[in-house]
Each structure stands twice: as structure tokens, then as C-alpha cells.
Amino acid sequence: MKSLLFKWTLLLLMFPIFAGAQQVRVLSEVVDFSGEIGTSQRKTVILQNESNQQKTYFLKNLRGSIGSSQKMKVCFGDQCFDPKKELAKVSIKLAPGEIYTDFYLEFELGIAETKGSFDLFFVNAENIRENFVVEARYEVENAGKADFSHKDVKLSDIYPNPSSRVAQLDYELVNPRSKAKITINSFIGNPIAEYELNPGRNSLVINVSDFQPGVYFYTLFVDNKNVVTKKLQVKK
């Protein structure tokens, strides 16, 4: 009898610990980022404090995969943080019974087709057994493929456009013996850069971070003949 009473007492003492993990609930579904290369999106996360106490949670870790050209920020109202650099600063305070709707994730989809997922793991500042997880996933599509076709070369539009860091062209040398290159000129025609298209590759990445903001023109030459010219806009 004493043994049974002891077990019931132990269960009652442990109950608040187990129950604590459910005191803040994520009302949003999985945060889904889906779009074209070079775009950015902002999505809302809705939380509910189901307890009758004020709760403070901090971001313990970021789990999953985010590419090197992608950026994600955690925002509370107008205040945003980069969790890769400012993990310790990301925290949120919830009033008793509060439904919080001023929580956002901002995500830059990067420069290449890809997909993946990541989780934000938050824990209670006073009791790490209390936690909640924000789940997110992303899928990046390339809308610029095979925009221009020549008998010797297939070439996409440059993307992202406008661009502030890097811009990319996808291509296929249908005739590997042809010599193809991309030249970039300023709005008034001054030469800025020139790139040979390697038959062993299928994309060209151009660093435009050193370009002055403005309009440029990129031209495809095949065997020293001007084939097509299009516009590139650079911004800061």
C-alpha cells in the first residue's frame, strides 16, 4: 500500500513537468516558402500561450539546412534578427493567454534551384523542459531556363534581375566546338567584363557586388558574332 501511494505521489509531482511542454502552442501550419530564384518572402507565425502565466522563450538552436546564398531572419514586429549570427538575441515574451500574431520569418530564396527544411527550437527561459518548435520548408524554382535558343547555344535570362550580389546565367553549348562568350557593358557602352562559356559547365555566376548601381547590357557572342543582347539591372 505504501509503495502504491509513493508511486501516485511521484506521478503527481512529475505531472507539471510533462504538462509544461504544451503551455505554448504554434497555431500556424508548417511555414512554407515557395518561389522563384532571387525572390524573398515574409510569413507569419501565430503562437498561443495557453497558461495563466507570463512566459519568456528564447531560440536555443536552428536545425536543418539553409544554403549559403539563402538568408533567414526572425522578426518580432519591426525588429529582425539573423539567427546564424544573433542567436542569443532572439527571444519572445508572451502574456497569460495571449495569442501572438506579430511573429514573422523572412526568407531569401537564393540563387539556385533547391529545396529543404529547417526548424526553430524555442525553450522557456526558466524551464527548458517547456519548448515549442516552428517548422519551415522551402522550394526554389528557376523561371529563367532556356529563354533563348541558338543553333549552337541555349541561354537563359540572367537571374536574379535586378541583382545586388551575384547574377547567374544557365546555358548549354549545343555545338561544343563553337566559341561562346558573354560580355557586359555599361548603359553608355563601356566594356565592364567578359566571360568565356566553358563547354564543360552549364552555368555562369557573375559577381556584381563591385558594379555601380544602374543598368547594364549583357551580350552573347558565338564565334565572335553578336547573337543577342539583354538588360541587367544592378542595385544595392
**pLDDT recorded at residue 86:** 94
Q: Residue 9 domain-assigned? A: no
| Last residue within a domain, chosen from 119, 141, 163 | 141
Look at the chain and report how many structural domains it folds into.
2
Residue 7 predicted with pLDDT over 90:
no
| Last residue within a domain, chosen from 141, 174, 207 | 141
**pLDDT recorded at residue 69:** 75
Q: Residue 196 domain-assigned? A: yes
Residue 19 predicted with pLDDT over 70:
no
**pLDDT recorded at residue 37:** 75
Q: Residue 7 domain-assigned? A: no
Pair 221, 160 in one domain? yes
**pLDDT recorded at residue 100:** 96
Q: Which 3-state string (H, E, C) describes the chain?
A: CHHHHHHHHHHHHHHHHHHHCCCEEECCCCEEEEEECCCEEEEEEEEEECCCCCEEEEEEEEEECCCCCCEEEEEECCEEECCCCCHHHCEEEECCCCEEEEEEEEEECCCCCEEEEEEEEEEECCCCCCEEEEEEEEEEECCCCCCEECCCEEECCCECCCECCEEEEEEEECCCCCCEEEEEEECCCCEEEEEECCCCCCEEEEECCCCCCEEEEEEEEECCEEEEEEEEEECC
- Give the percent of the chain with pLDDT over 90: 53
Residue 210 predicted with pLDDT over 50:
yes
pLDDT band at 22 (very low <50, low <70, confident <90, very high): low
Pair 36, 137 in one domain? yes
**211-230, pLDDT tens digit by residue?**
999 999 999 999 999 988 89
Pair 55, 161 in one domain? no
Pair 133, 153 in one domain? no
Least confident of 12-26, 94-108, 169-183: 12-26
**pLDDT recorded at residue 12:** 42
Pair 49, 113 in one domain? yes
Q: Residue 2 domain-assigned? A: no
**147-200, pLDDT tens digit by residue?**
677 888 988 888 888 888 888 888 989 898 899 999 999 988 899 999 999 988
Pair 110, 192 in one domain? no
Q: Residue 8 domain-assigned? A: no
Higher pLDDT, 149 or 51: 51
**pLDDT recorded at residue 146:** 47
Q: Residue 6 domain-assigned? A: no
Pair 186, 124 in one domain? no
Range of the domain at 163: 148-234
Residue 15 predicted with pLDDT over 90:
no
Pair 127, 167 in one domain? no
Mean pLDDT, rounded, for 34-49: 87
| Last residue within a domain, chosen from 111, 141, 171 | 141
Higher pLDDT, 102 or 68: 102
Pair 178, 207 in one domain? yes
Pair 127, 165 in one domain? no
Q: Residue 5 domain-assigned? A: no
CATH code of residue 189? 2.60.40.1930
Q: Residue 10 domain-assigned? A: no
pLDDT band at 5 (very low <50, low <70, confident <90, very high): very low
